[in-house]
């Protein structure tokens, strides 16, 4: 596994992965994202995202926008260490980054716990996590 900088050729991979039926319920915003919307968003935030490659194929992404971590793994690569790898690597680059996890998103919550995050706060929808140092 290797983490590479995002570039235009990965924009649609991110969009499709983010809105994949196996992933979309893990996000607060569950609306469909058009290619045009994605291009606009990525033109502003391209440098905030990184792509995980396995055998030169993209299998996930991780990003930090305004100190908020976003992470998503291809369904066929879940439970294979991809999420752990991406989260471990991104926290080396952004050690003060935080996360907001939907309370019902147990897989993401467990991933962040495995990477030494702890709950800082919560509300009726979200857990707010920080890296335990």
**Spatial separation of the C-alpha atoms in residues 63 and 41, rounded to whole Å:** 13
**Spatial separation of the C-alpha atoms in residues 77 and 91, rounded to whole Å:** 21
User: What is the tens place of the pLDDT at every residue in 39-66?
Assistant: 999 999 999 999 999 999 999 999 999 9
Predicted pLDDT of residue 48: 96
Q: Is 128 a member of any domain? A: no
Residue 82 or residue 22, greater confidence = 82
- CATH number of the domain enclosing 30: 3.40.630.30
Within 10 angstroms of residue 37's Cβ, the number of other Cβ atoms is 12
- How much is the average pLDDT of 15-22? 93
pLDDT > 90? residue 29: no
The count of domains in the chain is 1
Within 10 angstroms of residue 73's Cβ, the number of other Cβ atoms is 26
Is 35 in a helix, a strand, or coil? helix
Predicted pLDDT of residue 102: 95
What stretches of the chain adopt beta strand conformation (E)?
2-5, 49-54, 57-65, 68-73, 98-102, 117-122, 126-131
Predicted pLDDT of residue 23: 87
- How much is the average pLDDT of 8-25? 93
pLDDT > 80? residue 24: yes
pTM: 0.93
Q: Is 54 a member of any domain? A: yes
Q: Is 133 a member of any domain? A: no
Q: Is 129 a member of any domain? A: no
User: What is the tens place of the pLDDT at every residue in 83-132?
Assistant: 999 999 999 999 999 999 999 999 999 999 999 999 999 999 999 999 98
**41 CB contacts (<8 Å, ≥6 apart)?**
33
Domain residue limits at 30? 2-94
Q: Is 113 a member of any domain? A: no
Q: Is 107 a member of any domain? A: no
Cβ–Cβ < 8 Å for 94, 117: no
Q: Is 104 a member of any domain? A: no
**Percent of the chain whose pLDDT exceeds 70:** 100
3-state SS of 63-94 is EEECCEEEEEECHHHCCCCHHHHHHHHHHHHC
Q: Is 57 a member of any domain? A: yes
**Spatial separation of the C-alpha atoms in residues 36 and 125, rounded to whole Å:** 29
Predicted pLDDT of residue 30: 76
């Amino acid at each position: 596994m290797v983490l590479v900088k995002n570039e235009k050729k990965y924009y649609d991979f991110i969009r499709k992965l983010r809105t994949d039926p196996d992933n979309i319920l893990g996000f607060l915003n569950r609306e469909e994202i058009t290619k045009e919307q994605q291009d606009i968003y990525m033109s502003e935030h391209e440098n905030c995202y990184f792509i995980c490659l396995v055998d030169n194929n993209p299998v996930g992404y991780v990003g930090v926008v305004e100190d908020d971590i976003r992470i998503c793994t291809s369904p066929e690569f879940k439970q294979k260490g991809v999420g752990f790898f991406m989260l471990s690597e991104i926290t080396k680059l952004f050690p003060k980054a935080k996360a907001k996890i939907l309370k019902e998103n147990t897989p993401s919550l467990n991933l962040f716990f495995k990477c030494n995050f702890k709950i800082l706060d919560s509300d009726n929808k979200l857990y707010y996590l920080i890296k335990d140092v």
